[in-house]
Amino acid sequence: WQEPFFAMQKFVAFVLSVVCLGILEAPSCSAFSSILVARNKFFQTSSSSFRQSQACTERRSATCFAHNPIPTILQLKPKGVLDLSSSTRSRSSVKLAAGRSDLDVRNGKNGANKGTMIYLLVLANALVFMLSKYGHVSTSALYLNHQHAAWYQLVTSTFCHANIQHLSGNLFPMLVFGRLVEEELGGFGLLVAYLVCGVCSNLASLFLLSATTMSLGASGAVFGLFTVAVMSRLSVRYFSWRSMIEAVVFGYFVWERLISEVAVTSAGGIIGVNHVAHLAGAGAGVALVLGIKVLLAMLERGESSARA
């Protein structure tokens, strides 16, 4: 059974070599000559692949696989990606290959950091609901009571939900757009955006809705994440075609949601849905991103004037 396995492994490695080494590493050659270059590079190292792999199997040594000459994903060095071969790792620092890196070096992201703050926010919302629903812990004091409001309720009410439908309806867009915000602003920036948009949406509800209202839910903060995620990707100075595609796709979704909220609110709204919080949260997200950009521009002007 080993011969078909290693034959398939060699075939897959050859395909990867053709795509990555031939097409990307030799763009000046023609397509046919690029394939020949990749083929020669592959078969220079693959002639003894089966023999060494078979010896590794017989000796049962895990270290043998580190010396297997079959090219791996980390050993392929197309333009614009990090060279992670052993020769590069022995150097004092890892350098980017020629061309624009697929990694977002502008924001200091290395592709490995997936972010954890959004998952902590999701867990916090789910934990509060689980305690109130199945732990028989009363969380009504955390709701925003418009008649006797406490300052902490502006924050705590954004982590409370009435039922499982209310919770799941908020967690899904929170996870999707929260990850986008964390990619751009980091974990602390995501937390600030969530809290600022949630508090602003609760303040708008407190002043515009009836005193007998009880407000709860993360929807105001989620609508804020909608606008923050889209606007943070709109940058003329640091243009990226990937960011622009994301801004268009997610921006259209957010635009439709906002138009729907405005139409429903102008028609009288839906009982039990806080449309004011939705619109206020989205507006807070826009104001937050614009404020951050203005602040950064002022700091840059101050630094340039100080240098002059």
Identify the pLDDT of residue 261: 93
> Which position among 146, 161, 166, 278 bears the catalytic label?
278
Low-confidence residues of the chain: pLDDT under 50: 1-2, 4-5, 15, 18-39, 42-43, 45-50, 53, 56-112
In this predicted structure, what is the pLDDT of residue 104?
43
Catalytic residue (choose from 17, 157, 215, 219): 219
pLDDT tens digits for 147-159?
A: 999 999 999 999 9
Convert the chain into a string of H (helix), E (strand) and C (coil): CHHHHHHHHHHHHHHHHHHHHHHHCCCCCCHHHHHHHHHHHHHHHHCCHHHHHHHHHHHCCHHHHHHCCCCCCCCCCCCCCECCCHHHHCCCCCCECCCCCCCCCCCCCCCCCCCCHHHHHHHHHHHHHHHHHCCCCCCHHHCEECCCCCCCHHHHHHHCCCCHHHHHHHHHHHHHHHHHHHHHHHHHHHHHHHHHHHHHHHHHHHHHCCCCCEECCCHHHHHHHHHHHHHCCCCCCCCCHHHHHHHHHHHHHHHHHHHHHHHHHHCCCCCCCCHHHHHHHHHHHHHHHHHHHHHHHHHHHHHHHHHC
pTM for this predicted structure? 0.63
Give the pLDDT confidence score for residue 240 in this predicted structure: 79
Residue 138 is among the residues annotated as catalytic for this protein: no
Q: Please report the pLDDT score of residue 72 as a whole number.
A: 37
pLDDT at 297: 86
Q: What's the pLDDT score for residue 3?
A: 53
Catalytic annotation on 148? no
